A and B are shown apart, each in its own frame.
Chain A
Amino acid sequence: METRAKKNWKNEMLLSVSNLKVHFYIEDKVAKAVDGVDFSIRKNEILGIVGESGSGKSVCALSILRLLYIPSCKISGQIYFKGENLLKLNERQMQKIRGKEISLIFQEPTTSLNPVLTIGDQIAESIKLHQKLDKIKTWEKVVEMLKLVKIPEPFRRAKEYPHEMSGGMKQRVMIAMALSSNPSILIADEPTTALDVTTEKQILYLIKDLQKKLGTAVIFISHNLGVIAEVADKVLVMYAGKVLEYAPVNKIFQQPKHPYTSGLLKSIPKLNAPRGIKLEAIPGRLPDSLALPRGCLFHPRCKFAIDICKKKEPKMEKIRDNHIVRCWMYNKEEAINF
Chain B
Amino acid sequence: MLSEIDYNLSFRTLEVRELENSVLLKVRNFKKYFPVKGGLFSKVVGYIKAVDRVSFDIKRGETLGLVGESGCGKTTLGMCILRLIEPTSGEVIFCNRNITKLKQREIIEIYKDIQIIFQDPYDSLNPRMKIGEIVGEPLLIHKLVKNKTEKEAKVMRLLEEVGLDSTYMGNYIHQLSGGQRQRISIARALAVSPRFIICDEPTSALDVSIQAQIINLLEDLKDQLSLTYLFISHDLSLVKYLSERIAVMYLGKIVEIGDSEKVCSSAKHPYTKALLSSVPIPDPSLKREYIPLTEETPSPINIPSGCRFHTRCPYVKERCRNFEPELREIEKGWFVACHFI
Contacts and interface: CB of A to CB of B under 8 A. Distances in A.
A28 to B, nearest CB: 22
Given A169-B296, A202-B292, A226-B282, A52 B209 contact: yes
Contact of A197 (B177, B275, B292): B275
- Which of A229, A250, A265 lies at the interface centre, i.e. has the most chain B CB atoms within 10 A of its CB? A229
B179 interface: yes
A225 B208 contact: yes
A208 B180 CA distance: 38
Interface in A256-276: 263-265, 267-275
A200 B292 CA distance: 11
A253 to B, nearest CB: 5
A281 B213 contact: yes
B188 to A, nearest CB: 20
Given A197-B69, A249-B284, A279-B215, A271 B208 contact: no
Interface in B265-295: 274-286, 290, 292-293
Contacts of B55: none
Contacts of A254: 283-285
A227 B290 CA distance: 14
Nearest to B312: A198
Contacts of A282: 209, 212-213
Interface in B218-264: 219, 234-238, 240-242, 260-261, 264
Interface residues of A, number: 47
B198 to A, nearest CB: 20
B210 interface: yes
B106 interface: no
Nearest to B260: A275
Nearest to B261: A275
A198 B241 CA distance: 20
A125 interface: no
A224 interface: yes
Nearest to A225: B282
Contacts of A301: 209
- Which of A168, A202, A249, A275 lies at the interface centre, i.e. has the most chain B CB atoms within 10 A of its CB? A275
Interface in B163-180: 177, 179-180
A12 interface: no
A234 to B, nearest CB: 11
- Which of A201, A227, A280 lies at the interface centre, i.e. has the most chain B CB atoms within 10 A of its CB? A201
Contacts of A200: 278, 280
B212 A198 contact: no
Contacts of B207: 52-53, 223, 286
CB-CB nearest 4 A-B residue pairs: A226-B280, A269-B241, A281-B212, A267-B212
8 contacts: A196-B69, A198-B293, A250-B285, A270-B237, A278-B216, A279-B241, A285-B209, A286-B207
Interface of B: 69-70, 177, 179-180, 207-213, 215-216, 219, 234-238, 240-242, 260-261, 264, 274-286, 290, 292-293, 296-297
Interface of A: 52-53, 166, 168-169, 196-202, 204-205, 223-230, 249-250, 253-254, 263-265, 267-275, 278-283, 285-286, 301
